């Protein structure tokens, strides 16, 4: 079963924290970190100014370079099978904070206190207060042009699948249907007693929320660090990534697994892989084209 994980530096930090906290799943991070480590090393060779035409495979372009945009647009227009992977960066233009950006959630909050099953067992009220704060924030946000452009791409492409790490629910609000929310959805709750999953859009939510069927304690229906992803979502995502002609990656730092393995998996399966992101990431060295810029500006012009 694949659990949610991170890159080398953060992994080392968390492994140390987990070890000190005696949490079970350090093992699941180790072998993946080595691969991340090697790609991070490669990324750091270039340094911020060195972005240009270095690697034999990857071509990197700043700010929606017309050549790269034209090439990606042509690839998308000619493809019969397209997979898309999104992260917090696609919702940043809607005003939803990212996790690791300058104003990122993990800059001001400790993941191990808020986004692990152990944290919830220790203090469900604290965890729910944090998710309530995020729900209140997200409730005021709307999809942006990048979300809507992906709805249009879904309409145009014969075999399309959208895989998002985001729990903000903005993709379904925009109209995306061929979608796997692999880390869950902040508007869904799950009973810790009977396991029933339901939708609860109350803002604020009554803390602690109770199951309408068995009165058990409800938890956010979100995949926390060290927890396994839903096997159906995972299988659906892997098969889309392995069978696509084009994989488009938008707004993710590419350090949390298993999603961080998708670029190389698609590449190994012969797909054309492209990244649209504000900053360089470990994926930047794997993809065929990397376009640096804001999702709301770049994704719509790819259609
Ligand atoms: N347009 C495009 N990219 C952007 C924008 C933007 N407007 N704003 C930020 N970005 C990029 C950042 O450069 C960064 O690389 O989006 C990325 C966001 O990275 P993270 O904050 O790490 O978010 P994400 O990759 O989605 O995190 C993965 O980690 O904390 C867990 O489960 C959580 O799903 C989350 C997972």
pLDDT, tens digit, for every residue of 123-175?
A: 999 999 999 999 999 999 999 999 999 999 999 999 999 999 999 999 999 99
**The total number of residues written for the chain in this structure:** 303
- Within 13 Å and on the Cβ side, how many CA atoms surround 14? 27
Residue nearest to atom 29 of ligand 1 (CA): 256
Q: What angle do CA 264, 85, 80 make, to 5 degrees?
A: 85
Q: What is the model's pLDDT at position 140?
A: 97
pLDDT at 109: 75
Question: Given this model, what pLDDT does residue 107 score?
Answer: 73
Give the closest residue to 5 by CA, choosing from 224, 270, 289.
Answer: 224
- The packing angle between helices 27-46 and 8-21, to 10°, is 150
pLDDT (0 to 100) of residue 208? 94
> Catalytic: 25?
no
Residue 144 has a pLDDT of 98
Q: How confident is the model at residue 4, as a pLDDT?
A: 52
Phi and psi, residue 93, nearest 5°: -70, -10
CA diameter of the chain: 60
Q: Can you give the pLDDT at residue 112?
A: 77
| Spatial separation of the C-alpha atoms in residues 174 and 202, rounded to whole Å | 20
Residue 295 per-residue DSSP state:
H
Within 6 Å (CB) of ligand 1, which residues are found? Answer: 87-89, 92-93, 98-101, 104, 165, 183, 251-253, 256, 277-279, 281, 294-295
Give the pLDDT confidence score for residue 214 in this predicted structure. Answer: 97
Residues in the chain with pLDDT values less than 50: 1-2, 5-11, 13-14, 17-18, 20-29, 31-58, 62-63
| C-alpha–C-alpha distance, residues 16 and 11, integer Å | 8
């Amino acid at each position: 079963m694949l659990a949610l994980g991170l890159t080398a530096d953060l992994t080392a930090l968390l492994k140390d924290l987990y070890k000190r906290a005696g949490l079970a799943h350090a093992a699941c991070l180790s072998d993946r970190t080595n691969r991340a480590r090697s790609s991070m090393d490669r990324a750091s060779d270039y340094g911020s100014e060195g972005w240009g035409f270095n690697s034999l495979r990857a071509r990197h372009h700043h700010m929606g370079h017309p050549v790269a945009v034209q090439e990606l647009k042509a690839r998308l227009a000619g493809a019969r099978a397209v997979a898309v992977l999104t992260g917090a960066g696609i919702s940043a233009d809607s005003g939803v904070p990212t996790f690791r950006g300058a104003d990122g959630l993990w800059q001001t909050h400790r993941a191990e206190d808020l986004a692990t099953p152990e944290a919830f067992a220790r203090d469900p009220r604290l965890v729910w207060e944090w998710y309530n704060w995020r729900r209140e924030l997200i409730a005021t946000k709307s999809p942006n042009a990048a979300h809507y452009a992906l709805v249009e791409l879904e309409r145009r492409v014969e075999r399309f699948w959208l895989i998002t790490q985001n729990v903000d629910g903005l993709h379904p609000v925009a109209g995306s249907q061929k979608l796997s929310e692999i880390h869950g959805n902040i508007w869904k709750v799950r009973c810790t007693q009977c396991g029933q999953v339901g939708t609860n859009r109350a803002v604020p939510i009554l803390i602690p929320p109770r199951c309408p069927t068995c009165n058990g304690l409800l938890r956010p229906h979100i995949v926390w660090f060290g927890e396994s992803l839903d096997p159906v979502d995972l299988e659906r995502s892997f098969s889309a990534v392995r069978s696509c002609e084009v994989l488009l990656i938008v707004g993710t730092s590419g350090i949390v697994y298993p999603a961080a393995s998708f670029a190389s998996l698609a590449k190994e399966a012969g797909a054309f892989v492209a990244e649209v992101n504000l900053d360089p990431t470990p994926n930047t060295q794997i993809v065929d084209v990397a376009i640096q810029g804001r999702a709301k500006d770049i994704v719509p012009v790819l259609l």
